[in-house]
Amino acid sequence: MRRFVFTALILSLLSSVALCKIYVDIKSPGVTKLGIGIKFEGERLSVMETVFKRDLLTYGIFRLYPLDRIELSMEDLKLIGADLLASVETHINSNKKLDVTLSVFDTSENKILMSKAFEGDEAAEILIAHKMADDIYQLVTGDKGMFSYPAVAVRKVAGGYELCLLDVGARVYKRVLFSNRPIQSPVLSPDGRKIAFSMMRKGDFDIYILDVEKGVYNRVCFTSGPDTAPFWSPDGNKLIFSGNVGDNPELFLCDIRTGKLTRLTRSIAIETSPAFSPDGSKIVFVSNRTGHPNIYYMDLRTKRAIRISSGYYDVSPEWSPTEDAIIYSSVVEGNYLIKLYYLDTGATEIVGVGEDPTWSPNGDYILFKRLGGLFLKSIYGNNEIKIFSGRWENPFWR
């Protein structure tokens, strides 16, 4: 999976994790928050401390007890409601690198559950904070964390459009491209080094790939008409996108190494917004074959398409990282609702209000657009947080 590409990486990681019970069943209705004492010792790294605490709070399953300059026994911690203690020791070594050790204790059983050591330069302070919070989330839920991974989105600003990398946990973003023409549908490559997107130039939409580190982009995978809605294959070697045959939008698979195009659909309908399944064997997409935009999925071996929605306007589908569900946005009585389609049962569930939903890397949360900004929400509960204010479009995480 992709990691942050716009900050320094952790240089080394040593860990010791005890096998332990799952403390929080996030799928259970009415989850009780887990109390966790937070104690920082050593060099004062205020940014790391702030991001670490914010990550834990944003997960929505923790109740924090800051313990700076407070000495409490395990029994005392248990009495005040802290089920766990997270102790973070920080110092700067002789090479001017950060040395950070995270230890997590069960206050009821008075035993250590996890100990991990991180090393990095000063630019890795935020990433280390994310890693610590993600490790604690995995420890107590059994699911991997999500804040160590970047997202990407388009931000509308005066005079144009910004293509931005997002740090969802730290709630900061970095502009990597500006254009006075529309930018649409950005998606990060599996290794996080490139962004594919659609941008209007010379009166038409084309697909480009941006090298994040170098800041340069090139046009790729083009047909005779507008080319939109790219999505990376899991191996990072191909893009699936909507291109034109005459005046008709169809789905194409493009080998970005050779430029070879393979046509996937043959229909008089509009075919757009394709996305791969995590294993790369299937795609989900939007088609108006029945007169309205609906969600379909297709096995790439058989090319057989199956409709899974029947609303008036169903768009923006994306396969879950766990491969068991598809999320999409649906207009119902004039409002955009976010729906989940479960592949094993065929059932559909409303999980939020908004547009352009994208999965978190662990499949437990969704990031989406609504009037006023980008929002984060658990698919299992009602807790919802505004992450960014402004005019945002087309978020993509993972």
177: which 2 tokens? 């491209």
Of 356, 322, 325, the residue nearest 338 (C-alpha): 356
| pLDDT computed for residue 95 by the predictor | 84
Element holding 358 (H helix, E strand): strand 355-359
Strand order of the β-sheet with 294-299 is 271-276, 282-287, 294-299, 305-307
Q: What domains sit in the chain, N to C, each tagged with a CATH number?
A: 12-141 (3.40.50.10070), 151-397 (2.120.10.30)
Reported as a single tens digit per residue, the pLDDT across 5-24 is 444 444 444 555 554 566 88
| pLDDT computed for residue 24 by the predictor | 83
Residue type for 151, please?
Answer: A
| pLDDT computed for residue 7 by the predictor | 41
Q: Are strands 365-370 and 282-287 parallel, antiparallel or unpaired?
A: unpaired
Residue type for 123, please?
Answer: A
90: which 2 tokens? 């920080």
Of 363, 360, 314, 367, the residue nearest 336 (C-alpha): 314
Burial class (CB in 10 A: 0-12, 13-18, 19+), 75: exposed
For the chain, residues with pLDDT lower than 50 are 1-13, 19
| pLDDT computed for residue 21 by the predictor | 65
Please give the model's pTM, rounded to 2 decimal places.
0.92
How far is the C-alpha of 340 from the C-alpha of 254, rounded, in Å? 28
